[in-house]
Copies of this chain bind each other. A is one copy, B any other.
Amino acid sequence: MPEIAHIEVETELQRYFAAARLRASDYGTHYVALWDSLEQASSGGKRVRPALVLAAFAGLGGTEMSLAIPVAVSFELLHTAFVIHDDVIDRDLHRRGVANVAGRFTERALAHGAVGTQTGAWATTAAILAGDLALSEAHRALALLPIGAEQRGRLLDLLDRAVFVSAAGELADVTNTASKTPLSVEEVTVTLEQKTAVYSFEAPLMAGAVLAGASEEAIVALGRFGRLVGVAFQLTDDILGVFGDPARTGKSALTDLREGKQTALVAYAGTTGDWPAIAPFVGKADLTQDEAEEARVLLRSCGALQSTDELAIDHARRAVAALDTAAIPAVLRTTLTQLADTSVNRSR
């Protein structure tokens, strides 16, 4: 996204949080701390969703940045809300190595003399409320747009679908854990699309296009591109989660295996004769570096790595193919083709 637009999104988010913090100060220091935690949760990311909104908007002829910025902020805050509520579900107190909302309120509870189950209640309450507040602002930012009813209705429908489908994917992600056998690669892929691709790629791109007043053909093409490229990103993330260099990905290459994350790698391996040898490593909470390496050798030799790689590349290729319409201007096509390349070619 253009640097200037990037700065405007940051400025708008800062303005929003500064106003909320000021307003919160009438309700005590804990509530101000909650808003601080929420702002922290929303910062430090790559602002992928705002970048997609603005790329589609500008790439399809949109010029009124004062309309596009709130839409970009809306999808960023939707992401923040999902991340925060996801952490409650996973009972995580940290994200990217620092205390998240629940982690910060755990510390705060202890500092204020909370005992026993009270500490957990502070943490859960703060995180649920922070997510609710971010989700509310995601809706409000679109609802207040000074545009026509039909256009606003379409944007609200995109947000509605994003919430609806993400909830389905999040639920599937959790209910899948009770499965006694590996999921199919198809099931894994569908869950990735529902849980992430729709709200993170499809909806922001389509929203930017709708706001730019683009043709129906362009809107539909961007939606299809978004779903496919979103899955390509997630499949590649799953590969990097096992085969990546922690120094480059910034993420341990043990976590996914230890947690028994149901990835396409694992799903494919489950269909091969090597599964009995691989299964003991998947979900082994105390997996060692040596065992992880053994798992990697097996995931490679059984064909799971290659198959998942190909699946990601195939999604990226189909994503680019979706752009093959005169409704998508050449410059936008070039930008998005680069994005599709990045989705599968990242540091391992």
- A: residues with CB less than 8 A from B are 20, 23-24, 27-28, 30-31, 34, 81, 85, 88-90, 109, 112-115, 118, 121-122, 124-126, 128-129, 131-133, 135-136, 139-140, 142-144, 146, 149, 152-153, 156, 159-160, 163-165, 167-168, 170-172, 174-175, 177-178, 180, 194
Cβ A170 vs Cβ B125 within 8 A: yes
Most buried by B among A34, A125, A135, A177: A125
Cβ B88 vs Cβ A167 within 8 A: no
Cβ B88 vs Cβ A194 within 8 A: no
The minimal Cβ–Cβ distance linking A138 to chain B, given in whole angstroms, is 9
Cβ B143 vs Cβ A152 within 8 A: yes
Cβ B163 vs Cβ A133 within 8 A: yes
Which of B23, B132, B139, B144 is A131 in contact with, Cβ under 8 Å? B132
Copies of this chain per assembly: 2
What does DSSP make chain A's interface, helix, strand, loop or mixed? helix
Which of B132, B139, B153, B159 is A167 in contact with, Cβ under 8 Å? B132
Contact A122:B168 (CB < 8 A) given known A139-B140, A142-B143:
no
Contact A167:B133 (CB < 8 A) given known A28-B172, A112-B175, A172-B27:
yes
Most buried by B among A85, A139, A159: A139
Cβ B34 vs Cβ A171 within 8 A: yes
Residue in B closest to A90 when the chains form the complex, CB atoms = B121
20 contacts between A and B (CB under 8 A): A20-B164, A27-B168, A27-B172, A30-B175, A31-B171, A31-B172, A34-B167, A34-B171, A88-B124, A89-B121, A109-B175, A112-B178, A113-B180, A118-B178, A121-B174, A125-B171, A133-B164, A135-B136, A136-B163, A139-B143
